[in-house]
Chain A
Amino acid sequence: MVTPNASVARGRSGSKFETVMWFFTRVTGILFLFMGALSLVYANLTGGYGNMDAGAQMRWAFFPISFHVESSAVEVTPNFSNPFWQAYSFLLVAFAATHGFNGLRVILTDYIRRPLLLAWVKAILLLLWLLVLVAAAFLVFVFTG
């Protein structure tokens, strides 16, 4: 008698979900490198060079919205306050949240053995993921000060 195993059972169910997320994780992982590099280069070319510490460089790379560097010595220019960089930032955050919360789901599936508990944990993860997306949308599109 083989004990039922959540991860093995899901692999046999015929659902493409795991394959899709496996592919999504890899594609977005590569995408983050290019998106981070682009916003970092752009920030340094448009006046950031010489005015940022390493932390500010990281903040520009992963969330190129002007209010994100108000706490650093950078002069906040309107360069990043246009719809292109808003869409760019929101896509970056949405992909990152999906990549990250999917990763948490994979890790928790490895350690939680009780199916009911796992279902609740997944529901909470889904809720947190949506909360982060909504908060990020407000930060990018509404609180533009």
Chain B
Amino acid sequence: MSKLARVSLPKALAYRGGQPMIAWLLHRISGIGIVFFVSMHILAAFFLYSVESTSTTGLVSDALTAFYEALPMQVFMLFAVLYHAINGLRIVVLDMFPALWKYNREAMWVQWAVFLPMFLLPAALMIMRVQI
């Protein structure tokens, strides 16, 4: 649990945390993105099955479904899930073996080397709509 930060926005933006800060930020952003997507998806699917499709709830569920089935959202979800998984794996491994924390910087470069091909290849396939 971090202590509450009492800094202004310009100061926060000027803070140069480097790689660890980027990883922390992306982990939070991807985590929030996944929670919103999954909750939206489950609730929209629930209402699509349980209410009249012409009712307001049905129309809202239809719109939500169209939103999260759109290509940009799918690519973002691939990014979020993959980044959150790989970064989370690094955190779990380093927490399990705290002696390894001194190799955190190297671990982060390895992480990018694993993440980028795993993200870019499927993302390209999704954009080109290839059947795997």
Pairwise interchain contact B46-A138, C-beta atoms closer than 8 A: yes
The chain B residues found within 8 Å of chain A, CB to CB, are 1-5, 28, 31-32, 34-35, 38-39, 42-43, 45-46, 49-50, 69, 74, 77-78, 81, 85, 88-89, 91-92, 95, 122-123, 125-126, 129-132
The chain A residues found within 8 Å of chain B, CB to CB, are 5-8, 10-11, 18, 26, 29-30, 32-33, 49-55, 57-58, 62, 71, 73, 93, 96-97, 100-101, 103-104, 106-107, 109-111, 113, 128, 131-132, 135-136, 138-139, 143, 145
Pairwise interchain contact B92-A104, C-beta atoms closer than 8 A: no
In the complex, what distance in Å separates the CA atom of A109 from the CA atom of B81?
23
A132 — which chain B residues lie within 8 A by C-beta? 38-39, 42-43
Please name the residue on chain A nearest to B1 by beta carbon.
Answer: A7
Known: A29-B88, A96-B38, A97-B38. A135 touches B46 (CB 8 A): yes
In the complex, what distance in Å separates the CA atom of A6 from the CA atom of B130?
50
In the complex, what distance in Å separates the CA atom of A138 from the CA atom of B44?
12
A57 — which chain B residues lie within 8 A by C-beta? 122, 132
